[in-house]
Amino acid sequence: MNGSLFAFPPSKDPSQLNPLVLAYIGDAVYDVYVRQYLISLRNHRPQHLHAQAVKFVSAKAQAQFLKNWLPLLTEEELDVVKRGRNAKSGSVPKNADILDYRHATAFECLIGYLYYSERFDRLRALLDQVIPIHSPISEK
């Protein structure tokens, strides 16, 4: 992983990783992306940052972002999304609809796949589609 910030490549090719493992790293990558965006704004009060972050990281929001991405995805990316959507995690958060949760897992799975495949330009292009949905965020 020459182009990555961290020097810990996965133990397998990204296409061979369990979709829940891809979603695990995808969640972290997405969280850093959202946090960096929020910190680029003016209001840095912790409670404000958290409230704004929820608009991006909730299962419902991620499911909607995935829906918006679908027409933009390649066949390979759609296959990754399907693997992520169909993965059985064994649990569902109390505050999430099961379909939203599965689509959020698919969203995170694709992010993890692109990250571990070192397709950073593609990952950035898709993630940059997320920000305009909520922007401009009130900085009151």
Q: 104 and 65 in contact (C-beta within 8 Å)?
A: no
Vertex 10: Cα angle to 7 and 12 (nearest 5): 145
Active site residue 27: yes
Closest-CA residue to 19 (of 96, 100, 82, 94): 82
Please spell the DSSP secondary structure of 1-37, one letter per residue: -TTSSS----SS-GGGS-HHHHHHHHHHHHHHHHHHH
Catalytic residue among 27, 97, 121, 128: 27
Give the residue numbers annotated as catalytic, written as ranges.
27
